[in-house]
Amino acid sequence: MKHVGPAVLILTPLLLFSQKGPPKTVEKGDFRIRTDVNLVVLHASVLDKDGNFVSGLDRASFRVFEDRVEQKIAHFSQEDIPISVGVVVDTSGSMRNKIHLVTQAALKFIDLSHPEDEIFLVNFDKEVQVAADFTSDADEVKDALENLIFGGGTALYDAVYLATEMAAKGRRQKRALLIFTDGEDKDSYYGVDQLREKVREADVQIYTVGFLNLEEEEGGFFSWGKSAAEKAKEVLEKIAEESGGKALFPKQLDELSGMASEVARELRNQYSIGYVSSNAARDGSWRRLDVKLELPGDKKYRLRTRTGYYAHKSKP
């Protein structure tokens, strides 16, 4: 692949780069959160105090609120269904001594995923590349993982933005990303606000695994503000939270495989909750979502799902 621009390179059947603007998708038409007759679907993880997945809850255990107005649940299930999922790997120069363990973790994630998942692989340094397009052939993705090439720079925001856009076009109703990175963004076209907006408009759960040198970058007595690593951590946490995913920060590299396994198990143990919004206006507004658990006794479980969605405007 040839470098054709100062920031991001995309040369695949799905994505392209333009020197006069941001990376764009070839396919026409704006992305819409997928609904079935305006059915809003949430994928929720429920965990106990020890972080174990809680199964066996029924529809009556959940209450859904949109902009503080309670909604009537029309669909409810807990099924192990195939998903559209992307694995995003940082291949900047600083990753050379980590890539073996990252590859092992990504392979573990693939092995534990649903056998009918469709998977793609994106890698990035100062450029973003699609190493493997959507496929249900896990071996194809594994081969691509083992043949990644390293470069300099870190276009993290561009990689997450474009991978989110790509995942949103997946054939499965449920979509997710697993991202491995060890550094703060340095080379992206897109900024933090643009990235967060893309995450908010896409129904894609994002799981980030960031091994950041937070302790090494802590400032001394006269330092002010947050370090670059602390800012990176904040961004990874925010995009994961808003998407209904999770941000993970291993202290040791040998924790990576266990974390990837945790994400794979979570994606296969979630509840799906659907409702038709009582607000019929298709006005492009952001709708805030809150899901609450109502359980007997003093059980205390944690619930995680996306924070909202855009009610995209109806076509004239």
Q: Please report, as a single letter, which amino acid is at residue 222.
A: F
pLDDT digits (tens, 9 = 90+) for 92-135: 988 888 889 999 999 999 999 999 999 999 999 999 999 999 99
- The label of the residue with tokens 């495989």 reads 257
State in words which class domain 80-267 has.
Answer: alpha beta
Which DSSP state fits 309? E
Residue 72 CA, chain-centre distance (Å), reads 27
DSSP β-ladder status, 39-47 and 271-276? antiparallel
pLDDT digits (tens, 9 = 90+) for 27-42: 323 323 343 457 899 9
Domain ranges of the chain: 39-78+271-310, 80-267
pLDDT tens, per residue, the chain with 316 residues: 333 333 333 333 333 332 334 443 323 233 233 434 578 999 999 999 888 899 999 999 999 999 999 999 999 999 999 999 999 999 998 888 888 999 999 999 999 999 999 999 999 999 999 999 999 999 999 999 999 988 889 999 999 999 999 999 999 999 999 999 987 898 999 999 999 999 999 999 999 999 887 554 444 444 456 777 788 899 999 999 999 999 999 988 889 999 999 999 999 999 999 999 999 888 889 999 999 999 887 788 999 999 999 987 766 5
Tally the residues of the chain.
Answer: 316
Q: What is the reported pTM?
A: 0.84
* Closest-CA residue to 212 (of 193, 227, 223): 227
